[in-house]
Structure 1
Amino acid sequence: MRKITIIGATAAILAAATTAHAGSLGRPCTAAPQASWLSLEQLQAKIEGQGYKVQKAKLKNACGELYTIDKSGGRVELFVDPTSGQIVGRL
């Protein structure tokens, strides 16, 4: 019974942590006007140049969200400044 409680509590904590970071880390990646942003294709090329394999990319809340596979084969969600392609966060 205690194991079930611990597992349930751990799952709840992980879900809360994921929710707190979801949606472009809860804050915009840039305050620059959209006219100065790179295209999704340019952002994807910059990230792939760093060794990631991009599976899906989108712009949300002034932040590029790229769902990738890293060099070791692990899934990583990257949050990217759309003006520079700089990675500002990851999950």
Structure 2
Amino acid sequence: MRKLLLLALAVASPLAFAGPECTTADKAQWQDQTKFQENLKTQGYEIKKFKVTKGNCYEIYGFDKDKRKVEIYFDPVSGKVVKEEVEG
């Protein structure tokens, strides 16, 4: 029984750290990355890191307009927040 539990945990572990799935739309429909980031900056975000995730999201690490540390996943087509983590 214990071996089965360990096996289940080993298989599930990578899934626990996976980010969200944001879109299945063709990349031709995605917003331009540079313009998307510039739009966020005009909203008061300070972007320290920007990347495209395996789940087809635009992800930023940085600070919001209130200077709180954020990690945010956006749908690259609509620009809507899919998942957000805010510190402080």
TM range (shorter): 0.5 to 0.7
Between the aligned partners of 1:80 and 1:90, the Cα distance in structure 2 is 9
Unaligned runs of 5+ in 1: 1-18
Shift of 1:67: 0.8
Moved over 3 A (4+): none
Scaled by the length of structure 2, the TM-score of the pair is 0.66
Q: Which has the higher strand share?
A: 2
Aligned to 1:24: 19
Scaled by the length of structure 1, the TM-score of the pair is 0.65
Counterpart selection for 1:49 from 42, 46, 51? 42
Between the aligned partners of 2:47 and 2:18, the Cα distance in structure 1 is 18
Unaligned runs of 5+ in 2: 1-14
RMSD: 1.8
Q: Which has the higher helix share?
A: 1
Between the aligned partners of 2:43 and 2:83, the Cα distance in structure 1 is 15
Aligned residues: 70
